[in-house]
Chains A and B, each alone.
Chain A
Amino acid sequence: SQKIEQNSEALNIQEGKTATLTCNYTNYSPAYLQWYRQDPGRGPVFLLLIRENEKEKRKERLKVTFDTTLKQSLFHITASQPADSATYLCALDKSDTGRRALTFGSGTRLQVQP
């Protein structure tokens, strides 16, 4: 069965360091992958999208890589700030089934200590 895995344990880092979050998937051939940020009690907010033919995407302090051979995406936040503390979700399309919905991982909570 198709599966998306994100580290369920919270990631605690010091302000100014680079946070790296991992998204692994199995039994998928996604056309693209998206990363969202979610604050407690709020809806997810889109951050970045990377397509299967792209290796890397950047936006300000954010960087996403996509390795379709390893079936893995890495999400980096450089020069992290306490305001970056949130849960980060990865999401994939289901192009192999033709569905239009996104399938989300369970998210990784990031805590940036001042």
Chain B
Amino acid sequence: DTGVSQNPRHKITKRGQNVTFRCDPISEHNRLYWYRQTLGQGPEFLTYFQNEAQLEKSRLLSDRFSAERPKGSFSTLEIQRTEQGDSAMYLCASSPGGARSGNTIYFGEGSWLTVV
């Protein structure tokens, strides 16, 4: 499978714990995005990487959230001190070029987070 890979697919954690999600983009895609989606809503942009540089961060990305893409390949999204409001599906996407250029963005299957 050469699509965007995310793991774990499901995570249940207690409030206050830290969680980390991993995303492996399509190889040779230099652009990587994280989105968050809650039930009944469309995906909301969190952050964007071009290679290893994090070029854009949404206001939604509070201080408890941190994303990295250390070698310009895979990326991690860490949420510290989780809160119940963090429960959502976290989607990773990649593209060979920028969204503004009209390139297709390819999404992974998402990582479901439930904070209890």
A residues adjacent to B (C-beta < 8 A): 4, 8, 31-32, 34, 41-46, 49, 51, 89, 91, 93, 95, 98-107
Which of these, B48, B55, B104, contacts A49 with CB under 8 Å?
A: B104
Interface size, B (range): 20 to 34
Q: A31-B100, A43-B110, A46-B105 are in contact. Are A99 and B42 (CB under 8 A)?
A: no
Complex interface: chain A residues within 8 A of B106 (CB): 46
Complex interface: chain A residues within 8 A of B58 (CB): 101
B110 touches A102 (CB 8 A): no
Chain A binding site: helix, strand, loop or mixed by DSSP? strand
Interface: B8 (CB within 8 A): no
C-beta contact mask, B82-110 vs A, less than 8 Å → 1, else 0? 00000000010100001110101111111
B42 touches A104 (CB 8 A): yes
Task: Give CA–CA (A72, B102) in the complex, Å.
Answer: 18
Complex interface: chain B residues within 8 A of A46 (CB): 104-106
- Shortest Cβ gap from A69 to chain B (Å): 21
Interface: B56 (CB within 8 A): yes
A105 touches B100 (CB 8 A): no
Complex interface: chain A residues within 8 A of B112 (CB): 41
Q: A106-B40, A106-B42 are in contact. Are A100 and B55 (CB under 8 A)?
A: yes
Task: Give CA–CA (A65, B74) in the complex, Å.
Answer: 36
Interface: B45 (CB within 8 A): yes
Which of these, B4, B55, B99, contacts A102 with CB under 8 Å?
A: B99
Task: Give CA–CA (A95, B43) in the complex, Å.
Answer: 18
Task: Give CA–CA (A42, B112) in the complex, Å.
Answer: 10
Q: A43-B91, A46-B104 are in contact. Are A100 and B43 (CB under 8 A)?
A: no
B91 touches A102 (CB 8 A): no
Q: Which residue of B lies closest to A92 (CB)?
A: B99
B107 touches A44 (CB 8 A): yes
